[in-house]
Structure 1
Amino acid sequence: MDIVSALRTFLRVVEAGSFSAAANDLGLTQPAVSRQVAALEEHYHTRLFHRSTNALSLTAEGERMIPMAQKAVEAVEAIEEVGSADGLLVAGKVRVSLPAPLGLHVSDRLPQLVNMHPRLTVDVMFREEPSDLVAEGIDLEVRLGDVADSNLICRRIGWTTASLVAAPDYLNGRTAPITPVEIVDHECICYNRGGEERVWSFVDDDREQKIKITPRMTFDNAVAVHRAVLAGGGLAILSHILVNDDIAGGRLVQVMQSRPPTRLPITLVYASRRNLSLRVRTVLDFLVQLVGQDDLMRA
């Protein structure tokens, strides 16, 4: 049995949530995936999954296997990179979690990176809330705001720039707010980042002013908020990535420009510096460079 290949398959089953989904991702048949996992279980004399007709779940031993399997696979991939013809082969899959606006920004530019490295695969997820990096097999995640988890490696790579915006149709017949306290008289549309949707924060004469609001609509994705604002649903705070073209084209109006939303740190997090493979370092450097090239996000 190829233990490394079996460990890779085991991790993919964990990530995909089923043998059939993992088989589809790996280009294998479902029986082939099942055989690899079964061989791994037999080799280590332990059961990794609870199986039933309609469900698949990890055993306690399977849970403990995840971080060890990841380290083993990463170590082998690092050796393979060093042993390549020029020592600089970028190959394998990198799983990345990004907030939706930054994810859209990245998606326009990611083809350039993968075209440079034909054996590199990047799996991008849009997430507004923190993930369990180890359990979900996520290599890199970008988080907005302070990072509370001291077990993660954190690298601040920039700052958000956002605007309070509304559609012209919404403002027609209404008085646009001039100060944060006037926002409470308006319809507000929010996106939920870990329960923070009911408080908006602005910079007023170098002081931070927080306003508690009662949103009429709440979404867990900033792109959905953007669409609702364009439809005339009310006021919203949105990233420059989403709204700058709309402001320039007159589809949205920037409100309360002298008191902008508070900027949040953009932090790149990952589980460990040890055995950080070339494929992960390549995508990490790409994200750092991409954010740094944007004047409105540059640290």
Structure 2
Amino acid sequence: MDVVSALRSFLRVAETGSFSAAALDLGLTQPAVSRQVSSLEEHYSTRLFHRTTNALRLTVEGEQMIPMAQKVIDAVEALGETASPDGIVTSGRVKMSLPAALGLYISDQLPAFLAGRPGLSVDIVFREHSSDLVGEGIDLEVRIGDVSDSSLICRRIGWTTAFLVAAPGYLQRRGIPGHPFEIPSHDCICYNRGGEERSWSFSNGADIERVKLTPRLMFNNTVAVRRAALAGGGLAVLSHILAADDIATGCLVEVMPAFRPERLPISVVYASRRNLPLRVRAVLEFLVDTVSRDELMGEVAATA
């Protein structure tokens, strides 16, 4: 039995909760993954999963094996990195969760990144709220704003830049606000990250003004917010990734440029473990580099 391969299969089954899903991720057949896990159980004389026709869950022994198995896999990958002529060994699948705007920003840059790494694949999930990383098998997640979960490794990679915008037709009908306190009287299109207070914050470089809202429209996806703004639905706060081209062409107008939306930290989080797998590290560094090269997201821009 190839113990390392069997441990990889065991970890993926534990993460996905399914032999079929693990097989798809690993590029194997479902029977092959099942055989590997069974061989592992036989080798260590212990049952790792409770199996029924409708459910699969870890035994106590299976739960206890996860951190030890991960250490073995991390050590093997680190050894491969040391032995590789170019110092880089990246293979396997990386699952990453991103807000829609940032996901769109990197989507056209991922093919070039993957071109030189034939063994690597990336699974992108567009998500605006926080995930259960371990439970959902997510290797990396980008979060906007403060990260309060101390059980995760958190690395700040940049800052948001957003604009308050509206369609020209809307502004002709309703007028142009000149100060944040005028905004609540307007139709507002809000981006909902899940259960938080409905408000926008603006800064003129010295003061921060927080405005409570009663939105006319609310979406949990910023792409939908942009489309509603283009249709004349009201004022919206949009990332520069989504709004810059529309502002340049006149489809949207930047409103109140002296009081722009407050900038928020962009952080990438991942499960707290001693050694980050090489496949995950490669995607993490790609993400950091891609964000840093954007002049409105990079760390330098935050001090401008």
Task: Give the structure-2-normalised TM-score.
Answer: 0.87
Q: Could you say if the C-alpha distance between residues 68 and 137 of structure 1 is closer, same or farther in structure 2, counting changes exceeding 3 Å? A: farther
Question: What's the offset of the Cα at 1:21?
Answer: 2.6
Deviations 1:125-157 (A, max 9, x none): 222222333343333222211111223332222
Q: Which amino acid aligns with 2:115?
A: N
Question: What's the offset of the Cα at 1:160?
Answer: 0.4
Question: What's the offset of the Cα at 1:270?
Answer: 2.8
Stretch moving more, 170-179 or 248-257: 170-179
Q: Percent identity?
A: 67
1:233 corresponds to 2:233: yes
Q: Could you say if the C-alpha distance between residues 208 and 39 of structure 1 is closer, same or farther in structure 2, counting changes exceeding 3 Å? A: same
Q: Which amino acid aligns with 2:2?
A: D
Question: What's the offset of the Cα at 1:161?
Answer: 0.1
> Which residue is 2:302 aligned to?
none
Structure 1 regions of 5+ residues with no counterpart? none
Matching of residues 153-192 of structure 1 within 5 Å: 153-192=153-192
1:95 corresponds to 2:100: no
> Which residue is 1:106 aligned to?
106
Q: Is the 8 A contact 2:16 2:137 kept in 1?
A: no
Q: Which amino acid aligns with 2:98?
A: L
Distance in 1 of aligned mates of 2:144 and 2:221: 14
Question: What's the offset of the Cα at 1:107?
Answer: 0.9
1:292 corresponds to 2:292: yes
Q: Which amino acid aligns with 2:246?
A: D
Give the number of aligned pairs. 299
What SS class does the counterpart of residue 173 from structure 2 fall into?
coil
Task: Give the structure-1-normalised TM-score.
Answer: 0.89
What SS class does the counterpart of residue 113 from structure 2 fall into?
helix
In angstroms, what is the RMSD of aligned CA positions?
2.4
1:143 corresponds to 2:139: no
Matching of residues 1-299 of structure 1 within 5 Å: 1-196=1-196, 198-204=198-204, 206-272=206-272, 274-299=274-299
Distance in 1 of aligned mates of 2:202 and 2:61: 48
Q: Which amino acid aligns with 2:296?
A: L
What SS class does the counterpart of residue 36 from structure 2 fall into?
helix
Q: Which amino acid aligns with 2:274?
A: R
Structure 2 regions of 5+ residues with no counterpart? 300-304
Q: Is the 8 A contact 1:197 1:218 kept in 2?
A: no
What SS class does the counterpart of residue 232 from structure 2 fall into?
coil
